[in-house]
Amino acid sequence: MDIQLAQWSEKLVFGLPMIDSQHKQLYDLAGTFAGNGDQIRVMKTLVMLNNYVKDHFGAEEQMLEALKYPDLAAHKLLHAQFKDLLIKLLDDARQLSLDEIASKVQYLIYGWFSNHILQVDVAYVPWVRSHTPQTQD
């Protein structure tokens, strides 16, 4: 599995501060899986990733629901699929080496999540912008 699938870049920035910050936080978290580590650190990071996913997906879905985003049901389904992949990884982690866990987590983030941001999340940006009141500085 080639993990050089995606790195944080400006193309992942939508101009929606809460979402941009949360997406950047995910990439920062993924970076903690690089290099050598011990089982406890890896498992703690998996728990942090699980918590991040709950918080981010919840915040994103709440925002889209408040703005009556028409494709919310499909978006939630994709989030549920990612959660299922993460739960499977958490279940399998006891039988995997640290390198295997790191590789799978990095693939989930740099592969699945990057594609989700660039192909699915990007689709709601115009809706959010057009349905969010703009404030004057």
For residues 30 and 109, the answer to whether their CB atoms sit within 8 Å is yes
Query: Which pLDDT score, from 0 to 100, does residue 37 have?
Result: 62
Average pLDDT, stretch 125-131?
Answer: 94
Rounded Cα gap, residues 117 and 10, in angstroms? 12
Alpha carbon dihedral 35, 108, 66, 126, in 10-degree steps, equals 100
Indicate whether 21 pLDDT > 90: yes
Q: Which CATH number fits domain 15-28+38-130: 1.10.230.10, 1.20.120.50, 3.30.465.10, 1.10.10.60?
A: 1.20.120.50
**pLDDT tens-digit map of 60-75:** 999 999 999 999 999 9
Phi, psi for 3 (deg, rounded to 5): -85, -5
What's the whole-model pTM score?
A: 0.82
Task: Give whole-number Cα distances, 94 to 21, 34, 109, 131, in Å.
Answer: 31, 19, 20, 45
Residue 8: which residues within 8 A CB-CB, separation 6 or more? 24, 27
More confident call, 12 vs 126 = 126
Q: Where are the domains of the chain?
A: 15-28+38-130
**pLDDT tens-digit map of 22-35:** 999 888 877 776 55
